[in-house]
Amino acid sequence: MRPIAVEGLHRRFPGRPPTTALDGIDLDVAAGSLVAVLGPSGCGKTTLLRLVAGLDRPDAGTIRIGDELVEGPGHHVAPHRRGVGLVPQQGALFPHLDVAGNVAFGLHRRPRPDRARRVDDLLALVGLAGAGSRRPDQLSGGQQQRVALARALAPEPSVVLLDEPFSALDTGLRASLRAEVAQLLRDAGMTAMLVTHDQVEALTMADRVAVVRDGRVVQVGAPDELYRRPVDGWVGTFLGDAVRVPGRRTGDRTATGPLGDVELADGFAHHDGPEVMLFVRPEQLRPDEPGEDPTVPAVVVGTRFQGPDTLVELALDAGATVTARWSSTTGARLGDRVDLAVHGPVLAHRPAAPSDDD
Amino acid sequence: MPLVYLVVRATDRGSSTFVDLLVRDRTAELVVRSVELAVAVTAACLVIGIGSAWLVTRTDVAGRRFLRVALGLPLALPSYVAAFSWITLWPDSAGFRGSFVVLVTLSYPYVYLPVLGALRRCDPALEDAARTLGLGRWAVFRRVVLPQLRPAATGGGLLVGLYVLSDYGAVATMRYEVLTHAIYRSYQASFDRTPAAVLACVLAALTLAVLVVEGRLRRRRGPVAAGAAPIRPQPVHALGRWRWPALLLPVGVLTLALGVPAWGLRRWSVRGSSQADPAELWAAAQNSLLVGVVAAAAVMVLAVPVAFLTVRHPGRWAGAAERAAYLGHALPGVVVGLGLVFFGVRFARPWYQELPLLVFGYVVLFLSLGLGAVQASVAQVPPVLEAVARTLGRTAFGAWRSVTLRLILPGVAAGAALVALAAMKELPATLFLRPTGWDSLATGLWGHLQAQSYAAAAPYGVAIVALAAVPTALLLAVGDRRRTEGAAGR
């Protein structure tokens, strides 16, 4: 159980034009915690993982695992001496070995009886006791992923790296396996780094999430903080549905716009303005209950039923159309007039440059 | 490299001699004949190849599962065995007719196999959509299916063309004067080898022209399906009362391609009074095996690194190495053989007419055969497996050895087997490069057939078919089946 400390990592790939995969990444993974590196495809997150594993070398920057410098100027510890476990996409089990052979692959330095016991323990740990003699192609996708995890954990690595480990699985299976694996890593007290482009995966599994864009970390924090207080509109929309309306700063912690006069969240670096982009989540806009004030008059112009929730499209009387997420029991209908109330923190971001909406 | 020495040797006597020889009527006549034969055979192969591939995949013709594999087998038969059987059966066929029949029956699988694969990859939804848009069955085939087969069919057709241009055994047996035949004759007949060299240059130029055409066509890709086509069961047309009559095409082809040579081998053994010397036969078999195995080993030593270079680190060097390998394969055995003879005489005297030069010739000819097999297996090993092995405590080399090498081994073995078998069957290059008095099964068979001692030739023929042709055919059939099943399983 050792922490990972990444500092100022740069990596460029030659080509025409050369691509900058990592442009000065700083990231700390505390001992025993699970950090998700979240970003769109091509943001450099897989490169980061390969560098931490030692499978590729950076152009600049340092990586420490525990107290040991494993990567630095003129210094490189080979991957097989780093003590990292890797769970790749789609498992990547060795097709020429059975399940037990795969799990035992990293135990080649241990005495034989010890090996068999460790394999049995790990297969039991991932819920596949007795499956040791099966071949990888006889396993389902979820089972393959468990074997890959067992294989990575077998040599007792000090950190585990997971590379989009659930991306190839069905939705239902993905959700249950996510919870299971997160619990398993936590129980083992394992330091883990997960890279993913799936914000639900990052938010549900990780202790902390680092959002990466264009080779840089744009925000790090606990999942709920990131979701509620994204540093800019891009991070906000990347992490989930967002309501963004133009506004204007009226004071230190106040602003005004189509949502009326709103109070800005405490302890957040709001954009100075005067023109700003106001940010709330759809679930923060609710129909007014008696006694609440101030309210925003609007009319329902569209509904999208999504099971427990309904996305309700609302045309504000003050201009602008916004989407709210209401419980389906509310029973919004087209043409209904409602008075909206804004719950929770409102953020003021820099007004969007056109490219922010990509 | 053999090519360079060929050009050097051809222009040795001064450029005027070279030009004189080049513009002779006879040269033009040979070129026309070679091209005529190549075009005629290719056209016939396209019809037979596409037709039989369609029959065994898209109709309920009787016994189609067996036919599907059997139709690929003639590819492995040496052309000199088939040609001699034909000439025994039908002595009047000597000349264009016989060469045409033999080459068509042996080389149509070059079209049949890729078209078979392409037919299985077609998305049937396209055909369904065409039917609903008001096209009849025949119109669907012509306007929807055929365009999807075009890349496979043109690729196969060009292979047929190359094969015909480079074949020596069939045309020599049929006494049909085309370039390959003329080159060997003029090499043997006179002390002045310049005419042979000039003709070989012409043949090489012709082959290169075909390659250039192929490159052009390949760049101009055929229609590409939008998105990955899901593998769905192919529509099967019920032939109704044509179900049995339709068998005539594939069964007829197989009879001509496999039946006639089998009959020929039997026939020889009961004809004439000549007899094979068992000791000579045994020695020839040993020689064949020896050079086959050594050539396979030599090819693999080169093919494994080149395969890794081309698959994992594609770039200028890798591309050049790959193209060189394929060029060697496209060159006729006659050209490579003659080129190496000149090279050996001038620069490697101690090697001239010795086994190392012969093995080197095989490497030039068959490197791409082995390379293809190894490349396919390397491409199937995801690099991430090696990465995982390294994080599990293996060194870079240890990870390669315990994972990647282990996984490509079947491909390496299959490639080596293909090379060994091809080397054992190869006739013209062996005739050029073998040590004096040294015989392999192929040259032994050839010698006896030339001497008209058919009964003596028969055991050589049987041995070559058993040792080289049958295993090659099985390897190709199994390889093809595994590929298509692999594609369907995904």
DSSP B59: B
The closest of B44, B159, B29 to B97, measured between CA atoms, is B44
Q: How far is residue A290's CA from residue A202's CA, in Å, rounded to a whole number?
A: 38
* B46 lies in the same domain as B145: yes
A53 contact residues in B (CB cutoff 8 A): 387, 390-391
Tokens of residue A181, six digits = 């694996």
List the A159-163 sheet strands across, edge first.
A84-87, A159-163, A191-196, A34-38, A208-213, A216-221
Given a cut of 60, is residue B231 above it in pLDDT? no
Amino acid identity for residue A112 in this structure: R
Q: Tell me what pLDDT residue B89 has.
A: 79
Tokens at B234, concatenated? 């192919």
User: What's the average model confidence in pLDDT over A121-136?
Assistant: 89
Q: What is the mean pLDDT of residues A147-171?
A: 88
pLDDT digits (tens, 9 = 90+) for B356-381: 888 888 888 888 888 888 888 888 88
* Pairwise CB contact (< 8 Å): B395 & A78: yes
pLDDT tier, B191 (very low <50, low <70, confident <90, very high otherwise): low
* Residue of chain A with shortest Cα separation from B489: A137
Asked if B110 and B74 sit in the same domain, the reply is: yes
* B94 and B144 inside one domain: yes
Residues B292 and B222 in one domain: no
The minimal CB distance from B394 to the residues A80, A84, A152 is found for: A80
ipTM for this model: 0.77
pLDDT band at B5 (very low <50, low <70, confident <90, very high): low
CA distance A301 to chain B (A): 36
Q: Taking CB atoms and an 8 Å limit, are B391 and A92 in contact across chains?
A: no
Quick one: B52 and B116 in the same domain?
yes
**pLDDT attached to residue A100:** 92
Looking at the structure of chain B, the number of domains it has is 2
Of chain B, the percentage scoring pLDDT greater than 70 comes to: 85
Q: What stretch of H or E contains B445?
A: helix B441-450
In the structure encoding, which two tokens stand for residue A118, read together? 């460790």
Write out the residue range of the structural domain in which residue B307 sits. Answer: 273-490
Phi, psi of B438 (to 5 degrees): -95, 130
B80 and B184 both lie in a single domain: yes
Of B225, B240, B271, which residue is a domain's last?
B271
**A93 CB-near residues (< 8 Å, 6+ apart):** A99, A102, A136, A139, A144, A147, A148, A151
pLDDT at A64: 93
Return the ∠ at Cα A77 (arms to A72 and A82), rounded to 5°.
120
**Looking at the predicted structure, is the pLDDT value of residue B225 above 50?**
no
B389 part of contact set with chain A, CB < 8 Å: yes
Residue B2: predicted pLDDT: 62
Is the confidence at residue B152, as pLDDT, over 70? yes
CB atoms within 10 A of CB A109: 8
Q: Which site among B312, B381, B385, B391 would you substitute to test the A interface, given the most A Cβ atoms closer than 10 Å to its Cβ?
A: B391
Write out residues 401-440 of B within 8 Å (CB-CB) of A: 402-403, 406-407
Q: How confident is the model at residue B223 (pLDDT cuts 50, 70, 90)?
A: very low
Please give the Cα distance from B170 to B176 (Å, whole number): 9
Q: Which helix (H) or strand (E) holds A247?
A: strand A243-249
In the predicted model, is pLDDT for residue A193 greater than 90?
Answer: yes
- Residue at which a domain ends, from B251, B271, B291: B271
Distance of CA A116 to the CA centre of its chain: 36
By C-alpha distance, the chain A residue nearest B403 is: A94
From CA B205, how far away is CA B197, in angstroms rounded? 12
pLDDT at B401 over 60: yes
Residue A11's region, left for phi above 0, alpha for psi from -120 to 50, else beta, is beta
Q: What token pair was written down for A204? A: 């549900």
| Residues B324 and B207 reside in one and the same domain | no
Find, among A209, A268, A265, the residue nearest to A235 by Cα. A209
Chain A residues with CB under 8 Å of B391 CB are 53-55, 79-80, 82, 84-86, 106, 152, 157, 161
How large is the average pLDDT for residues A209-235? 91
The predicted structure's pLDDT at residue B73: 80
Residue of B nearest to A55 (CA): B387
> How distant is the Cα of A98 from the closest Cα of chain B, in angstroms?
13
When pLDDT is cut at 50, 70 and 90, the band that residue B219 belongs to is low
Summary mean pLDDT of chain B: 79
**B72 vs chain A: nearest CA distance in angstroms?**
30
One-letter amino acid at B380 equals Q
Closest CA to B358 of B452, B451, B428: B428
Looking at residues B256-260, what average pLDDT do you find?
Answer: 80
Mapping DSSP to helix (H, G, I), strand (E, B) and coil, where does residue B155 land?
helix
Report chain A's terminal Cα–Cα distance, integer Å.
39
Report the pLDDT value the prediction gives residue A301, as an integer from 0 to 100.
92
pLDDT, position B11: 66
Query: How would you class B241 by CB atoms within 10 Å of its CB: exposed for 0-12, middle for 13-18, buried for 19 or more?
Result: exposed
Contact residues on chain B for A94, CB-CB shorter than 8 A? 385, 388-389, 403
Clarify whether residues B231 and B334 are in a common domain. Answer: no
Does the pLDDT of residue B322 top 60, yes or no? yes
CA angle B31–B35–B37, rounded 5-degree value: 120
Predicted local confidence at residue A287, as pLDDT:
83
Q: What is the mean pLDDT of residues A134-156?
A: 89
pLDDT at B486: 44
Reported as a single tens digit per residue, the pLDDT across A52-87 is 998 888 999 999 998 899 998 888 988 888 889 999
Q: Residue B360: which of B433, B456, B252 has the closest Cα?
A: B433
- The CA distance from B139 to B235, in Å, is 16
Share of chain A above pLDDT 90, in %: 30
Closest Cα in chain B to A56: B387
Weakest-pLDDT range from A25-29, B229-233, B344-348: B229-233
Same domain, B290 and B210: no
CB contacts of B389 in chain A (<8 Å) are: 94, 105
- Pair (B5, B45) in one structural domain: yes
Work out the average pLDDT over B468-481.
69
Reference B307, options B363, B361, B376; nearest CA is B376
Question: Measured between CB atoms, which of B382, B391, B395 is closest to A84?
Answer: B391
User: Are both B189 and B296 inside the same structural domain?
Assistant: no
Q: What per-residue confidence (pLDDT) applies to A28?
A: 93
Q: Say whether pLDDT at A161 is over 90.
A: yes
Q: Which of A96, A158, A160 would you mutate first to test chain B, the one with the most B CBs within 10 A? A: A96
Last residue of a domain, one of B255, B271, B287: B271
CB A4 within 8 A of CB A193: yes
CB atoms within 10 A of CB B103: 27
Closest CB from A89, A92, A106 relative to B393? A106
Same domain, B233 and B318: no
Burial (CB count within 10 angstroms: exposed 0-12, middle 13-18, buried 19+), residue B474? middle
pLDDT at residue A219, as a whole number: 93
pLDDT band for position A212 (50/70/90)? very high
Q: Which amino acid is at B450?
A: Q
pLDDT of the residue at B116: 85
Mean pLDDT of A148-170: 88
The CATH number that applies at residue B355 is: 1.10.3720.10
What does the mean pLDDT of chain A come to? Answer: 87
Please give the order of strands across the beta sheet that includes A60-65: A19-29, A4-13, A60-65, A68-72, A75-76
Q: Chain A: residue nearest B393 by CA?
A: A80
Place of tokens 């007004």: A351
Q: How confident is the model at residue B383 (pLDDT cuts 50, 70, 90)?
A: confident
Q: Which of A13-27, A78-92, B315-329 has the lowest mean pLDDT?
A: B315-329
Are A80 and B387 inside 8 Å of each other by CB? Answer: no
Query: How would you list the strands of the sheet with A321-327, edge to edge?
Result: A285-287, A337-342, A296-306, A309-316, A321-327
Tens digit of each residue's pLDDT (9 = 90 or more) over B57-76: 888 777 777 888 788 888 77
For the residues A176-185, what does the mean pLDDT come to? 89
What is the nearest CA distance from A87 to chain B, expressed in angstroms? 8
Checking DSSP bridges between strand A159-163 and strand A84-87, what pairing results, if any? parallel
